[in-house]
Structure 1
Amino acid sequence: MPKMPTTLQCLLPLALLCAFSAQAAGGVAGATSETTFRPTDAGIANPERGMYVWANDSLAAWTPAQADAQFAAGYRIVYAPVRLDAYAGAPLPQAVLDGLSASFATARRAGLKLIPRFLYNYPAGETAYRNAQDAPLARVLEHIGQLKPVLAANADVIAYLQAGFVGAWGEWHTSSNDLTAAGPRTQIRDALLDALPPDRFLQLRYPPYLMAWAPQVPRWRDGSKASRIGVHNDCFMASNTDVGTYSEDAATRQRQHAYTAALSAVTPFGAETCNPADEPDPTPRTNCDDILREGSRFGLTYLNDTYYRGLFHTRWEAQGCMAQVKRSMGYRFELATLRHSADVAAGRSGELALTLRNSGWARAFNPRGVQLLLKHRTTGAVVRLALPSVDPRDWLPGRTSTVTARFAVPAGTPAGIYDVLLALPDGAASLAGDARYSVRPANADDAGKSQRWDDRLGAFGAGTTLNIR
């Protein structure tokens, strides 16, 4: 029997054989187009993951020029400290809220997302935290209530929210107002979760607090408060306890490690390294083997690129693993195979089957769409077909996923041959049309297959075609 062409043209008497072959190989019946993709080791800047830099010492001082430079340098997330020192004894003035909205607009214009943290202090150095002052509980709750409308209106450019407010650096320790006691910290947690839209994640500095609230690791999106709170470890790998992140007791610390690792499959884990100046005999874990092992174990989604470089980043660069670390943080989607209907009448539906691998250390955590883009070969007109049954957050790290879905071609779509592209746009309506917020898959352009990334559309050309009648 002759070899089947890439686009199966099912004419009798081969129609039944073609349909059977398509169903057996990919769940797509009838005439199909199919292709394979080649992965790449290239570094790819994608939303909500990777190395981050600071907006500025305070978000209010961040400028559009700085934001543009950060985007051009390949950063896609920016840590955003919001200094509230001057208002620990007063309500937030409208000017502060307006300024915060303006900073979110700067991020949106630049194609960036922020990791905000609200702070009442910022001690200089690693040992000056003992006298840091925060605000009374009633004031903290008042401020969170004032911030709620701003956070809701700008959730599209919030990657993750670090809990902040409490203690030195907003890290939830050494509170001058006893905010780390069980009652106050639970009230602040609940207020922050209420202020955030339900599809955005909060992050806390200390795993023991999370374990006290939820002794069992929550399940993915199970509706519990625990399933919306991850960890940001601000002294990642800096000492045996990560400078107080975990217990001094080895057995307790092992349980906390296991909990945090399991939690990272459900909620985002972010980090920065630090100078363990306040830790006796700290024994930091600074080698490539360390970051590759722990980055994978804890599902590292983002990491501070600027601190503490001399002890960590510089060693990773010297030992040759920095490129791998940057590739691995967060999600990394590699398209493998695509099979789809080759011929669909306008007003009717087609089918597709997509296989891909997430070679990153974590899942994607925030909502994201999947679209089949059809680009008319003659007119260049683009038709976007949503695949609402497909959720990229379900593509788990280290695993290959197979997606099958139906797509509807709108009635009235002009007939002709269309090139097929795949897009992963942002889940927010305000950003869905902005190609800078689309995920670029980790696949190589292939001129021989007409496969390439289209940065104008924010989509990857599959090199296949669809005939619309």
Structure 2
Amino acid sequence: MPRTSPLAGLACGIASLLLAGAPVNAAAAPWVETTFTTSAAELANPERGMYVWAADDLLQWTQAAADAQFQAGYRIVYAPVRLDAHANAALPADLLARLSEAFATARSAGLKLIPRFLYNYPRGETEYRDAKDAPLARVLGHIDQLKPVLAANADVIAYLQAGFIGAWGEWHTSSNDLTAAGPRTRIRDALLQALPPDRFLQLRYPPYLMQWAPHVPGWRDGSAASRIGTHNDCFLASATDVGTYSDNATTRQTERNYVAALSRVTPFGAETCNPADEQNPMPRTSCADILAEGRQFGLTYLNNSYYRKIFHTKWEQQGCMAEVRRSLGYRFELATLRHTAAVTAGQSGELLLTVKNSGWARAFNPRAVQLLLKHKTSGAVVRIALPAVDPRAWLPHGSSTVSAGFTVPVGTPAGAYDVLLALPDGAASLAGDVRYSVRPANADDTAKAQAWDAALGAFRAGTALTVR
């Protein structure tokens, strides 16, 4: 019969006491650990979820409207920017200034944007066929003018839709032949150069992506393809999603497989549309459809306003809308935490964290992870960065376990500290704004002293660390 060492038995006993909530002398135990309870609540978290429009033109958006959208639970807003009046001229300085003000409006409201620059917005079939965009040289000039504005406001850009070309900026029906291979590649390259390297571009049509990169790229592998995702503006609407995919069934399946695989490394966003635009469309409107394809394509965001009549309303009637809202994008659930029980100021400890991502997608933009120590008596907070931990690696439909060392800063007052975990925005400009922190999908548990701390934008683990 195998024998258990006295030390192993002692460790198991300590762990049992900790998990039961019993106090343990830090001097007697080198580490503490706990488990967490998941929550089924709908959580408003950055860069994911249902979205609404800023306005018909981002330059018409008001602070009052932005604040109301945040209060309604939205965290991303689609932002069309109309350039119709400047298709044959350089962008005026006042337009660039107003665009910067619109990004500031988003920042003030706690929102992030999905911008798309476009030269037209046709309202019917005749207008759609006659929609005008700009000559290639003008488009490239506009992108060059926009580059400093995009760079300065990348913190509140969730994803950039390619725009510029054709009707609605959807990269079809160009009046200037911009969908030809040469022009569209030059516009792609200009957009990638204008967009900071840690932000993703999104394109409307899979065939273009497949022509540029026949094989799905790896996660941030340095290629242009690894920075371009898709936005499907007729998601679920017909067999071809109203022209998104090929009429040929075999080709269409290849395209769909490509987009599904691509969504594991680049963001996929969508809106549904009116299937009447295609003959015999047979839209996929049931809960079974959205739940299966939302997962298959790693759906990160979805228009909450269109086309509700046969999609959103049906999901509400069939009872899956809450699950859809919960599943969009990432959804991080803390599972277990283990950390050093006592650390001398200026020295290091260890932390082991297990997280489940129950959402349909990974997080795509940089995000920090911090260990917070809150003094039990004074309430003073010490934030300790964990740079080795990257939430973008927490893949959907699975669990991730990360191990990280941490150093308690020199000069930290001695005493007992509550332990909290925070996931602030990766941009320095937003790191201190708790509205941009991710709230994990965990329930408050009074018995374990676990709870979301809205003031700190962090989740209290219910464990303690002694600083000596």
The answer, yes or no, to whether TM exceeds 0.5 is yes
Q: Deviations over 1:58-104 (max 9, x none)?
A: 00110000000000000000000000000001000000000000000
Percent identity at matched positions? 75
CA distance in 2, matches of 1:371, 1:222: 26
| Runs of 4+ residues deviating >6 angstroms | none
Shift of 1:381: 0.6
Counterpart Cα distance in 2 of 1:176 and 1:456: 52
Aligned to 2:388: 389
Q: What's the offset of the Cα at 1:126?
A: 6.1
Partner of 1:22: none
Classify the secondary structure of the residue corresponding to 1:219. Answer: coil
Residue 90 (structure 1) aligned with residue 85 (structure 2):
no
* 2:136 alignment partner AA: L
Asked if the contact 1:8/1:32 (under 8 Å) is kept, the reply is no
Query: Counterparts of 2:85 and 2:278 in 1: how far apart (Å)?
Result: 31
* Distance in 1 of aligned mates of 2:26 and 2:132: 74
User: Whole-Å Cα distance in 1 between the matches of residues 276 and 92 of structure 2?
Assistant: 38
CA-to-partner distance for each residue in 1:327-350, whole Å, 9 max, x for gaps? 000000000000001100000001
User: 2:124 & 2:376 partners in 1: Cα distance?
Assistant: 60
Aligned residue number for residue 119 of structure 2? 120
1:176-202 Cα shifts (integer Å, max 9, x gaps): 000000000000000000000000000
Equivalent runs, 1:268-347 vs 2, <5 Å: 268-347=267-346
- Aligned position for 1:240: 239
Does the CA-based 8 Å contact 2:26-2:341 persist in structure 1?
Answer: no
Q: Distance in 2 between matches of 1:79 and 1:318?
A: 26
Question: Could you tell me how far apart the structure 2 residues matched to 1:430 and 1:343 are?
Answer: 33
Once the two structures are overlaid, the 10-residue window that deviates more, 124-133 or 143-152, is 124-133
- 2:26 and 2:342 in contact (8 A); partners too: no
Structure 2: distance between partners of 1:203 and 1:356 = 28
Q: Give the match for residue 46 of structure 2.
A: 47
**How big is the shift at 1:278?**
2.2
**Superposition pairs of residues 150-229 of structure 1, within 5 angstroms:** 150-229=149-228
Are 2:407 and 1:399 aligned?
Answer: no
- Separation (CA, whole Å) in 2 of partners of 1:378 and 1:126: 68
Q: Judge which range, 358-367 or 122-131, deviates more.
A: 122-131
Q: 2:250 corresponds to which residue?
A: 251
What is the rounded CA distance, in whole Å, between the counterparts of 2:325 and 2:459 in structure 1?
Answer: 21
Letter in 2 for 1:447: T
User: Equivalent residue for 2:449?
Assistant: 450
Following superposition, the deviation at residue 10 of structure 1 comes to 7.2
- Partner SS, residue 178 of structure 2: coil
| In 1, Cα distance between equivalents of 2:126 and 2:392 | 40
User: Which amino acid is the alignment partner of residue 55 of structure 1?
Assistant: A
- Distance between the aligned counterparts of 1:331 and 1:353, measured in 2? 21
Equivalent position SS for 1:101 = helix
The 1:454/1:126 distance shift into structure 2, 3 A limit, reads farther
10 and 108 in structure 1: CA distance in 2 versus 1, 3 angstrom threshold: closer
Aligned partner of 1:26 in structure 2 is none
Alpha-carbon shift at residue 128 of structure 1 (Å): 3.8
- Tell me which moved more, 2-11 or 147-156: 2-11
**Is the counterpart of residue 410 in structure 1 residue 377 in structure 2?**
no
Q: Measure, in 2, the Cα distance between the counterparts of 1:91 and 1:128.
A: 25
> Could you say if the C-alpha distance between residues 135 and 285 of structure 1 is closer, same or farther in structure 2, counting changes exceeding 3 Å?
same
Report the counterpart of residue 33 of structure 2 in structure 1: 34
> How much does 1:311 deviate?
1.2
SS in 2 for 1:277: helix
The answer to whether the Cα contact below 8 Å between 2:119 and 2:134 also exists between their aligned partners in 1 is: yes
Deviation, 1:9, is 4.3
Counterparts of 1:100 and 1:33, CA distance in 2: 50
Alignment check: 8 A CA contact 2:159 2:202 kept:
yes
Mapped partners of 2:32, 2:105: distance in 1: 42
Q: d(CA) in 1 for partners of 2:326 and 2:127?
A: 35
Asked if structure 2 preserves the Cα contact closer than 8 Å seen for 1:127 and 1:278, the reply is no
What root-mean-square deviation, in Å, do the aligned CA atoms of Structure 1 and Structure 2 show? Answer: 1.1
Secondary structure, in 3 states, of the residue corresponding to 2:229? strand
Counterpart amino acid of residue 304 in structure 1: N
Residue 8 of structure 1: how far off its partner (Å)? 5.5
Decide whether aligned partners of structure 1 residues 132 and 38 sit closer, same or farther in structure 2, where only a CA change above 3 A counts: same
Contact kept in structure 2, 1:148 and 1:196, CA below 8 Å: yes
Instruction: Give the secondary-structure state (helix, strand or coil) at the position aligned to 1:407.
Output: strand
Assess if the C-alpha contact under 8 Å between 2:264 and 2:298 holds in 1: yes
Q: Is 2:26–2:466's contact at 8 Å kept on the other side of the alignment? A: no
SS of residue matched to 2:33: strand
CA distance in structure 2 between the aligned counterparts of 1:388 and 1:90, rounded to whole angstroms: 45
Confirm or deny: 8 A CA contact 2:161 2:201 kept in the other structure. Answer: yes
What is the CA–CA distance in structure 2 between the aligned matches of 1:10 and 1:328, rounded to whole Å? 39
Provide the C-alpha distance between the structure 2 equivalents of 1:127 and 1:425, rounded to a whole number of angstroms: 47
TM-score (norm 1): 0.95
Q: What's the offset of the Cα at 1:359? A: 0.2
Distance 2:410 2:236 in 1: 57
SS in 1 for 2:313: helix
Q: CA deviation at 1:32?
A: 1.0
Q: Contact 1:126/1:278 (CA < 8 Å) preserved in 2?
A: no
Once residues 359 and 24 of structure 2 are traced to their aligned partners in structure 1, the CA distance between those partners, rounded to angstroms, is: 34
Aligned letter for 1:341? Answer: T
**Structure 1: 5+ residue runs without aligned partners?**
19-30
Cα contact 2:286–2:314 (8 A) shared by 1: yes
Q: Which residue of structure 2 aligns with residue 25 of structure 1?
A: none
- Matched with 1:28 is none
